[in-house]
Structure 1
Amino acid sequence: MAPLRIALHQGPGGVPRSTDDSLAALADAAHRAAASGARLLLTAELYLTGYALGDALPEHAEPADGPGARAIAAIAAEHGLAIAYGYPERDGERIFNSVQLIDSDGTRLANYRKAHLFGEYENAHFTPGDEPVVQAELDGVRIGMLICYDVEFPEAVRAHALAGTELLLVPTALMRPYEIVAQTLVPARAWESQLYIAYANRTGPEGDFHFAGLSCLAAPDGTARARAGTGPDLVVGDADPRLLTASRAENTYLGDRRPELYRSLATAPAD
């Protein structure tokens, strides 16, 4: 099976002036990604609206099939590549921090709601999702999705590995001074759970936050096959199913587990 080429869109920095600005930047990134041979473009967390919306968040949230989704479906179809993008999703009175995957023909493939909310800001404005593993097939590769803080929980990534995820998409809004997550933890997650992780971050100051950049495509051998800097960037890398198969044969973490010994970990009280 041929490698799946993925582009990570880091930026633009700062709060977008409007959703139209985000869509224009995405169309440009899609054009460049397609020219590089990418079949999939991943944006950062809450890409469509910006992260630091505060109390204005409800007026920018939209349903999964809303106008933003329709506009991105048109961009995907125009450039012939799938797009996974972060956005605030409205469902009735609830607002979720979500990522949606749209196929290269504009079909909506999957939608995931962030389960682990980070800090006071997110807990004050979002409802946590409760579906741990959301997957879709793209070019024969099983795709899974998490968002930012989710990937910092080994249980969340391992659940994907056990469900057969081969490429885990993680739009993120990683802030300074937590660069260790992008530099060390994400490649370690790819190694210990034997899958690819595409991690696309925001960059620069936005409201009270300063985002770290450092987007990466981490491989199951623990290396970063693509790595962005700290400013706006578009980086491209290949998720190779053959390398994944070989890596899983050599690194047998998944087969060597003894889950009967770990049952108490899911119910142990936090001190």
Structure 2
Amino acid sequence: MRRKVALAQLDIQLGNPAENYQKAKQAIEEAANHHADIVVLPEMWNIGYALDQLAELADENGQKTQQFFSELALKNQINIVGGSVAVRNGQSFFNTTYVYDQNGNLISSYEKVHLFGLMNEDQYLEAGQKENHFKLAGIPSASFICYDLRFPEWIRTVARYGTDILYFPAEWPSKRIEQWKIMLRSRAIENQAFVVAVNRVGTDLENSFNGHSLVIDPLGQVIHDAGEVEQVSYAEIDLAQLAQVRGPIPVFKDRRPSLYH
């Protein structure tokens, strides 16, 4: 089984949801026109890290984003891993992922579990409390958000269900991009899964971002690197490779969780 994945490496405009929704719409439509099965967006693409403007700009209960994805997924017959957006629920704010199938159905949502102090997330956002695993385009999958990448125990906790693709939307700064590449390859190898990671490009008030959205196979080999420019780029994933990797080295079967603390 093969699937074509589109990586929407966007230049997010800080505090400008109108422009960012338009960018996301164009990226999704472009991916559909290139016959992608799945399109993936970056982290916090609706407003960027305008955390001090959450009260004015966050999506109330995620309603705008959910309608946006549902309509575009159905119209374009494409599956969407919606990066993440700033969402307001009551008096609390979350960094939230929505996943939609090609029929416009919400099949999963996830609130970022690990909040990144260097970008002040812990001062403005509430941390999520649940795992996120789902089947998309017929593939057992899981999604995480940016800083979650640094917690392999969390990735393994979710991946133990038999996950074939791990998705990582992010706003990962340029100065730590080599760590991004190394850790993504490691997560692919140790979980014997494909990794699809979509980072942004551009700048905000305090950080610069240089993309390098990646698709990585279960052996840790980079199938695709989107480079450092704003673009929608593509990679094909061959799921048959999973059996070839997992057969000789059954990592999950050989685990001894009773010893892990």
Is TM-score (shorter-chain normalized) higher than 0.5?
Answer: yes
Structure 2 counterpart of 1:3: 2
Q: Which amino acid aligns with 2:202?
A: G
Deviation at 1:149, TM superposition (A): 0.6
Structure 2 counterpart of 1:126: 125
Gaps spanning 5+ residues in structure 2: where?
Answer: none
Aligned residues of 1:182 and 1:216 also touching (Cα < 8 A): no
Distance 1:62 1:27, change over 3 A: closer
Structure 2 counterpart of 1:23: 21
Matching of residue 186 in structure 1 with residue 184 in structure 2: yes
Structure 2 counterpart of 1:216: 214
Distance 1:251 1:211 in 2: 36
Report the secondary structure of 2:8's partner residue.
Answer: strand
Q: Which amino acid aligns with 1:98?
A: T
Query: What's the Cα RMSD here?
Result: 1.6
Structure 1 counterpart of 2:133: 135
Structure 1 counterpart of 2:47: 49
Deviation at 1:153, TM superposition (A): 0.9
Distance 2:53 2:224 in 1: 35
Once the two structures are superposed, the pairs formed by residues 69-218 of structure 1 within 5 Å of their partners are: 69-85=66-82, 86-120=84-118, 121-131=120-130, 133-218=131-216
Deviation at 1:13, TM superposition (A): 4.5
What TM-score do you get using the length of structure 1 for normalisation?
A: 0.90
Structure 2 counterpart of 1:235: 233
Distance 1:60 1:14, change over 3 A: closer
The Cα offsets for residues 135-189 of structure 1, whole Å up to 9 and x where unpaired, read as: 2212220121110010221111111221222111111010121112332110111
More displaced, 88-97 or 25-34? 25-34
Distance 2:115 2:210 in 1: 18
Gaps spanning 5+ residues in structure 1: where?
Answer: 264-271
Report the secondary structure of 1:231's partner residue.
Answer: coil
Report the secondary structure of 1:255's partner residue.
Answer: coil
Deviation at 1:28, TM superposition (A): 1.7
What TM-score do you get using the length of structure 2 for normalisation?
A: 0.93
The Cα offsets for residues 15-62 of structure 1, whole Å up to 9 and x where unpaired, read as: 26x3232222122212221222211111000012222x1311122222
The Cα offsets for residues 211-255 of structure 1, whole Å up to 9 and x where unpaired, read as: 231110111110111111112122211232211122111333222
Across the two proteins, how many residue pairs are aligned to each other?
259
State percent identity of aligned pairs: 26
Aligned residues of 1:74 and 1:106 also touching (Cα < 8 A): yes
Deviation at 1:262, TM superposition (A): 1.9
Aligned residues of 2:12 and 2:45 also touching (Cα < 8 A): no
Q: Which amino acid aligns with 2:121?
A: E
Q: Which amino acid aligns with 1:12?
A: D
Deviation at 1:124, TM superposition (A): 0.7
Deviation at 1:64, TM superposition (A): 4.6
Aligned residues of 1:14 and 1:203 also touching (Cα < 8 A): no
Distance 2:13 2:211 in 1: 12
Report the secondary structure of 1:5's partner residue.
Answer: strand
Q: Which amino acid aligns with 1:77?
A: L
Report the secondary structure of 2:196's partner residue.
Answer: strand
Structure 1 counterpart of 2:32: 34
Distance 2:227 2:125 in 1: 29
Distance 2:238 2:80 in 1: 19
Q: Which amino acid aligns with 2:69?
A: I
Report the secondary structure of 2:59's partner residue.
Answer: coil
Aligned residues of 2:201 and 2:228 also touching (Cα < 8 A): yes
Distance 1:103 1:5 in 2: 15
